[in-house]
Structure 1
Amino acid sequence: MTGSDTRVAACLNPPTITELNASQGLPPWISLDTRVYLADRHNSTTAAAETSKGHAVQVSICFAHPPALSYVCIHCPGLQHANFASEPRVVRSEKQFLLLHLPLNWSTRLVRRSSEYYMYQAVPGRPPTLSRIPDPPGRSFLVARDLGIHCCGDGGEYILAGLCPSRDDAQGGYELHLYSSVSRAWTRKPAYLEKPPIEEQLPVASHKVIPLGGSLLGWVDLWRGIMVCDVLSDETYACVWFVPLPGLMPGNEADCHLCPWVIRDITCINGSFKLVEIELISLPPKNKDE
């Protein structure tokens, strides 16, 4: 990969870490950087695929002992840095899966821009694999924040699910897009909110997608609430339930325009939501006489 571009300048120099060798055993968990670095780091985790234009893509993971960040490196020998419209990212991680987003730009024309997604998979006892996710029919691209991963047992299969506002429903419905690693094809069904909340509570963005147990996924708006959907339902349409989140703590109410990751995060552990919020409190200046 050659050339330089300010759009990807921050991901050209991977951090210096004491890298662990995957063949010698790894820690039970890691902290993974969501930024993907453009660098050739071939090791035992390396897997390869091709872009939609036939260019080679090589993905490797550089492991580090927590609290140091492990990170992902991508090497595309046939591309230049200018071919990236912005920085590549880790979209989701779930068990043995990593969903990666490569915002590629095949020319200076906006219409040639391509948001390509790749699933990296590491199953114990097997070589790692990398596969490109095809675009769903009738939709030019998917938004990274709308995508979640449902793991189908321990056999290495998965469902990639995207919940997004419908383009065809004037009533404000949704669409559930499902990609199966078995059929390697997309399906789509309408999705509707059961007992919709008032407009002021309705989620406007998916900050993250989390597994909730079974075949349930939750699309989280950290300001407002969670859209819950059974991605394996056999119904012809998908039902979506809204779970509101508690209001902001008093010290944070004036900062609702900030990125929510600064003060809030949520996960689901053993069927229970765990919400963490850091309250920002402004202390009055000290008296000089004190």
Structure 2
Amino acid sequence: MCHIQRKFTIGTPRFRLLPETLSPPALTSDDDDAAAEYPRWVLLESLAYVAKRDNGTTAFSRTSDGKEIQVTVCPRRPPSVSYLCVYSPDAEIPVESKILAMEEDLVLLLITVSCQRDVMKNIDYYVYRAADRAAGGKPSLTLLKRPPAPYISFYAEHTGILHCGNSHHRPQLGSESGISLRPHVQVAESSYIIAALKTVPWEMQNEFEFPQGSFILSLYHSKKDAWTVTI
């Protein structure tokens, strides 16, 4: 799995994508066959490419400032690694978009949507759902409310997403999207919870007199569409 590095020019506030991020791997005829067969599971790159790709997995949403954005899964037959493509016709995406967590048909994405000096203030979080019952079985892309400042950034190694609820319906592999991302247990189709844990930054420890080694736990409940933060 490739890990794309972020590049910027010293002395300027603008971040720039590496050329590789703008050039997704070409799909082969075997990949096309795999997509047509609706693979039961795929491996995904941890970073997304920035490119316009359209297929049955494409889902659309809006950025926090109202611009159009879309996410597409480009499936490849395992053990080849599949990847996501993020694209917006009118929003600038200055740094690589990250996959923070996955669970069954859910993918939690971090996408930066502006080239302002403080990119940390321009992070959007999305949940991509491969087969959303509320969308008629089609894929969906949901923009989440931003976590309350200053708890706005998470790391993939400390973030998880988990289905919850009592429904046990698994999306059919011949549905509109045709992708089930990691099927190992029955899917709870209703709601989900996101949990992210990080250490309290030293500047917050000094300002608010938190004990050294304190942690921040951020929880998002989809039913409530709200974040709660505990320190």
Residue number among 91, 109, 114 corresponding to 1:105 in the alignment: 114
The residue type equivalent to 2:138 in the other structure is P
Q: How large is the RMSD of aligned CA atoms in angstroms?
A: 2.4
User: Gaps spanning 5+ residues in structure 2: where?
Assistant: 1-14, 166-187
**8 Å contact kept, 1:104–1:115:** yes
| Matched residue, 1:96 | 105
Report the count of equivalent residues.
Answer: 182
Q: Deviations over 1:34-60 (max 9, x none)?
A: 221111111111111111111111111
Equivalent residues in 2 for 1:7-18, closer than 5 Å: 7-18=17-28
Secondary structure in 2 matching 1:123: strand
2:213 corresponds in structure 1 to 172
Query: Which structure has more strand as a fraction of its residues?
Result: 1
TM-score by length of 1: 0.57
1:156-180 deviations in whole A, cap 9, x for unaligned? 4110111122444225322211101
Q: 1:138 aligns with which of 149, 156, 163?
A: 149
Matched, 1:119 2:127: yes
Task: Kindly provide the CA deviation profile for residues 4-60 of structure 1, in whole angstroms up to 9, marking residues without a partner as x.
Answer: x85242211110123447884322222211221111111111111111111111111
Structure 2 Cα separation of the partners of residues 112 and 120 of structure 1: 21
1:11 corresponds to which letter in structure 2?
A: T
Look up the SS of the partner of 1:170 in the other structure: coil
| Equivalence map 1:118-267=2 (5 Å) | 118-123=126-131, 126-139=137-150, 141-145=152-156, 146-153=158-165, 154-166=188-200, 167=204, 168=208, 169-190=210-231
Q: Distance in 1 between matches of 2:67 and 2:159?
A: 24
TM-score, scaled relative to structure 2: 0.70
2 CA distance for matches of 1:91 and 1:42? 23
- Equivalences for 1:15-30 in 2 at 5 Å? 15-18=25-28, 19-20=31-32, 24-30=36-42
Identity of aligned residues (%): 32
